[in-house]
Structure 1
């Protein structure tokens, strides 16, 4: 019988207890309610179980993670995780999840694609699932999703390639972008290590954002690996994403969010997503802020592509730095060493 570690605060609700039971199945559950287990968490299968309060945080769970990181900053090295979040209101499940994933990822934890099962008050988020599972109650559908999550977590084994392909998406100016300059440092090392890198520059004149086609129409075009709006996304992005082992987004911080062009591409990926799984593709990001906010952009990136689109999330998936004036990234202390280390991490994750 395999072990699964349940990282959570004690004293959670009956609903969360049922979800934990469904997700862990026949595995032996080892509950982590204090930092005494900090030395045991490396290389394990982990379910983080959270219950945000009235202001959207699980204070006890956050304190537990703080206690663990003080004992062992890389406590989750080599581990892979998933999350279960139950909210007593109709909000906070996603914000709670993205924060927890970011924190655990910084501590060395990888996450499976679609790592989250959430339950809001009254299980209203499962109402649309009734269209598929007409004979099941909302509670039964929730338990089914928890079971599937647990199975995927226990079966997870990242795929690696002998000749890995990396697709890079950006919308930056080559002359002034600190983000692109930082990526170029990373790419130099990746090429030396035998990776094939394909950069796609997403420009305004080549891009139309998703405008919300009907599900039926989106599926129709998706079956042809196309999209109603065509253009660069269909001609270049879809094939490059389909064939890649890793997707990298270069994200300068624009008002604490991903650039509009890149978010439009993410939106448009829905047509391809409906026809293929991204579970075996790794997600990485390079985020540069002029002053602060790197974590805000990184959380948005993992929310869109790991939680929603299902790309797997390697540990420390984002290289983050602060640089303001054009070219100032080149003067950041030890930046080339950091770029080299990030490239080495990418290669470890995707190359045999």
Structure 2
């Protein structure tokens, strides 16, 4: 199977590419514009495979997208390229509108033109898999409510609104043009190679440096945490076995308050690190409550029953096993995150189109 993966140098995208190359034996073309969050060092483990190909290109560049389809001739697209950090979307929403909405439109048009040119057999087998977020559904207020595939959209941030817009575009291209699409909406991912601005890697790395561990408000916001390698396995299940036109919610069955996540990381670090920074006895002493972000949703939680029933996928990791693996990965891979923090990883980008 030949799969074009947009955003394949990002956190989730690189996990998908590693899974496709190592476990599925697929041939992969990574298309990534290499913004700050795109890191080719996250793909180092598969970059020497003859089935791995990379081009640096923006999904908003229609000519580049047309060229990628024409030259690679994919059997499927897995569209992960997106601006995804809520705080950044509040400070500068324009990039989110451009990449998540205009970029998705541009990619859909390139995919539609390519798909229209295929033989009837290849046309029926082609898939456009759009990877989205549970944040499009907005906020859950009840303690027992769960997001299902038919939950009405009610996005709260510029980020989630832009992703909701892209979801609607994908559905419209299916309804209007017949493009064979599938959509997935996932809960919060965590795991190896996560960019350090996100909660879990930020807490780990701040703790190691003896810096404050910032928690929005009282830290009572609840998220359903999904280990990124479980997500990668789910995404391949969907693109290879999912029903055209359907949406599948992917969750980890691991609801935790943010403050609980932070304290769990502190407990694991207490166990693993004897010499603690700045004379502290326990890492939890570094927890610092900061002013909450505007429009912060209080609770997200996914009902992942549909993908379990119809495709047989369930997460392999519990939060306890996944968060321990994550902490240990950051402790054992300091070169990767130090190069991200210093910006040195940017220098590795030249001359790597393959």
TM-score, structure 2 as length reference: 0.34
TM-score, structure 1 as length reference: 0.34
